[in-house]
């Protein structure tokens, strides 16, 4: 079902809110270009994206505020095109061109 455009890269937008933007240079929206397949030739999925964000986009040394034990920290919601990622296969979701991924923390002050 995936259409990977020219086969090389997938362009998506990634949003951070609920305080997470503080970890990513205080910027809410980021345009991200990812390789269409990972190093083992599998389509790029959420696991790849999360790792990519930690290594390329995060401006803060406190990685554990975003990822804990190799998974998204409990209390952070992930929406894929506005839908709860639990409905989309979570980390196994394969990214599509023009996807919008939102990470929103529920952990900050009410």
Partner 1 sequence: MARALCANCKAERAVIKRPKNHAKLCKVCFIQVFEDEVHHTITSSKLFYPGEKVAIGASGGKDSTVLASVLKTLNERHGYGLDLVLLSIDEGIKGYRDDSLDTVKRNAVQYNMPLKIVGYDELYGWTMDQVVETIGKKGNCTYCGVFRRQALDRGAKMLGIKHVVTGHNADDVAETVLMNLLRGDLARLSRSTSIVTGDSRSEVKRSKPLKYSYEKEIVLYAHHKKLDYFSTECIYSPEAFRGSARALVKQLERVRPTAILDIVRSGEDVARLVPGEEPSSCACSGQKGAAGLVDDDVGGCGSQNGRTPGGEMAAMDKQLRDNEASEGLEIDVVKTMVEGNAARGEKRDLPIRAGNTSKGAPRQVLGNCKRCGYMSSQEICQACMLLEGLNKNRAKIQI
Q: Which residues contact partner 1 (rule: CB under 8 A)?
A: 17-19, 73-75, 77, 79, 82-84, 86-89, 102, 104-110
User: Looking at beta carbons only, is 9 or 47 nearer to partner 1?
Assistant: 47
CB of 26: closest distance to partner 1 in angstroms? Answer: 12
**What CA–CA distance (Å, rounded) separates 39 from 29?**
26
80 within 8 A of 93, measured Cβ to Cβ: yes
Report the alpha-carbon distance of residue 83 to residue 47 in Å, rounded: 17
CB of 105 to partner 1, least distance (A): 7
Minimum separation from the CB atom of position 14 to partner 1 (A): 15
Of the pair 56, 98, the CB lying nearest partner 1 is at: 98
């Amino acid at each position: 079902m995936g259409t990977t455009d020219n086969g090389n890269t997938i362009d998506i937008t990634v949003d951070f809110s609920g305080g997470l933007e503080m970890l990513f240079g205080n910027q809410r929206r980021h345009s991200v270009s990812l390789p269409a397949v990972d190093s083992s030739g599998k389509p790029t999925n959420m696991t790849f994206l999360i790792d990519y964000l930690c290594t390329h986009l995060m401006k803060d040394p406190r990685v554990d505020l975003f990822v804990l034990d190799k998974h998204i920290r409990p209390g952070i919601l992930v929406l894929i095109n506005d839908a709860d990622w639990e409905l989309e296969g979570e980390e196994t979701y394969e990214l599509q061109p023009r996807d919008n991924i939102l990470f929103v923390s529920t952990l900050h002050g009410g």
